[in-house]
Structure formats: C-alpha cells, structure tokens
Amino acid sequence: MSKFIASAAGRRFLFLLCLGGSLAAAGPAAARPYVETAPERGFHLFTRPRKKDPAAQWEWVQSLDRAGKARAAARQAYALRLFWPQAPEAPGAQLLYARHLDRRRRFQEAFDAYQHLVDTYPGRFEFNEIIARQMDLAKAIMEHRKGKFLFIPGFSAPERAIPYLEKIVRNAPESPLAAEAYFRIGQAQERVYAYPEAIDAYFTALNRFPDSDVAEPSALGQARCHIRIARDSPEDNRAVETAIAACDLYLQRHPDSASADDIRATRRELLARQARTAFDRARYYDRILRRPAAALIEYRAFLAAHPDADQAADARRRVQELSRQLGPDAPPPPDSEN
C-alpha cells in the first residue's frame, strides 16, 4: 500500500479523494459570498451599512421600513446602494430612498435619486412610473415658492425646473412626457421673459408632437411670445410680421379654440400697427424729406399691403396728387395697378 501511495497514480488518487471529501463537506447549500467589484466609495463618516453583505442589509432595510422607521430605512437603503452599487438589491434600495425623499417633498433631491435609477439601473424598475414621477417633481420645482415668511408669499423661480425637464426629454425622447417637458420649458422661459428661448421650446413641442395634448397650448404660447416681442419693439416691422404669422398659424390649426377670438383681435391690432407704421413712413418721405418719388413708392406699397386700412383713403388721394405732380418723371406703378 505504501508503494502505491508513493507512486504517481497513487498521489493523484489521494488528491481526488481529498478533493471529493472537501466538496461533500461543503454541501450544495454553501453559497459563494457577494463580492463588490465597483471601486471603493471612500470614507463616509455618517453613512455605513449595519450588515456585512447586501442581502442581509436589504432585509434590515425592509424590517426598518415595516416598523415605520422611514428615515432610518431610507438612510440604510442609501448605504446599501453606496457600498454595494452592483448588488441585485441596489436598485430596490435606491427606489426606496428616492420615494422617501419624494414623500418628504425634497423635490430636487428626489428627482436626482430617481435619475440615478435611470442612469445606473436601466430595465430594473418600472420606467414609465419613474419618468411620470419625475415630471410631477419638475412641475413642483417650477411652482415652488421660496422665501415665504408670515404673510409674505415668497417668490418662484421657474427657470430652476428647466434642467430637470431637459433630463426628462433625454430619458424618454419619444414619450408623451417629452412633449409636455418641452411645453413646460417654454412656460418657464416665458415666465422669466426669455421669449426667444420659450419660442424654441414651444416650436419643438408643436412640431415634434403635433397630435399631443400640448400642441394647442404650445401654438398659443408661441404666438403669445411673438406678440410680446412685437409689443416690446413697436418699430420693428419684422417682429410685427412674425407675430402676425404666428397668429395665422395658430388660427389655421385651432380655429375653434377658446383663445381664437383673442388671437383674432390681437392680429387685427398688429395689422393696424403695421399699417400705421407703413403709412407714417410714406408721410415721412412726403412731408419731412419732401421726396415725392420715394413717397409715391411708399404710398403704393402701403396700399398694396393694407388696402382696407383706415389711412387707405388718404394714401390713394396722395398717390393721385403725387402722380400728377411728377408727371412723366413719376415711377411706374406696380403691375397690380396696371
């Protein structure tokens, strides 16, 4: 026997026998412990998990939550995600933590906690539910007032919601929530008087999602911003023309809306202002500069664009008088007058 063990075959047999004995002793129930492969998270003085592995930590978190110790459960859930970010329990822990912040109305922190789920654990949570909740939080950020004191209502800063709304667009670019996010960005920009930026956001919502629930208010917001730009720059004829075009677009798409009559009235006001500006320009060449040929051209241009304006009768009279005055030197009328 001693000779057999000393031989090469005997040594192999003895090794396999010992190996089989050790595997049998371990048994099928001996599981390999979880090993975190993510980089170390550094030193965290006040955030440490109570248990030694993520499975036990998750059981501890759930027991705290069932006992009504919501803050402790959220804190330990965050510790689980922080120290074992790749563990199977990490997405559930992050969701519990985010919902805790959400219930406490810590809007921005809750949004960021949900965003960590989106960025880190795709496919491991109910996506549509989380994006919808992010939209609610972004709207809450947009309307939240700071500086409240006694009877002082405080102030809102809707522009703070814009980065969060932009994240919703990136998270779900083809979702109906993306349409609403663009619309809300337009609202926020409009409320801080950033009209060109608001127009861009409304335009995107209107053209990318023409059949969405926000299509009509986006078209209205776009027209409203162009109108305000035109009113702020009454001498800018291009701004007035653009505002009229925005009114036309809105009325073309939504002729029976509740705002259609107001837009029609505003359009008439803009046309009247445009006509007044064109007539005043013709009178300037006529009465101030005393350049009859140039004045005749301007009067004719005014009549071509605004034949029914209040000043049309005066313009026609001056066209006849200037034509007689200039005689053969008068510039030829446009084709429409031939």
Q: Is the dihedral of CA 198, 203, 204, 209 positive or negative?
A: positive
Which residues constitute the domain of residue 294?
282-338
How would residue 150 be classed by pLDDT, with cut points 50, 70 and 90? very low
Q: For residue 145, what are the β-bridge partners?
A: 156
What is the per-residue pLDDT for 11? 56
What is the per-residue pLDDT for 45? 53
Evaluate whether residue 307 is within a structural domain: yes
Evaluate whether residue 172 is within a structural domain: no
Average pLDDT, the chain: 87
Q: Is 60 exceeded by the pLDDT of residue 218?
A: yes
pTM score, whole prediction: 0.79
Evaluate whether residue 327 is within a structural domain: yes
Evaluate whether residue 95 is within a structural domain: no
Look at the chain and report how many structural domains it folds into.
Answer: 1
The mean per-residue pLDDT over the stretch 291-308 comes to 93
Give the closest residue to 220 by CA, choosing from 183, 189, 182, 265: 183
Evaluate whether residue 298 is within a structural domain: yes
Evaluate whether residue 115 is within a structural domain: no
Evaluate whether residue 330 is within a structural domain: yes
Evaluate whether residue 53 is within a structural domain: no
The helix (run of H) or strand (run of E) holding residue 146 is: strand 145-146
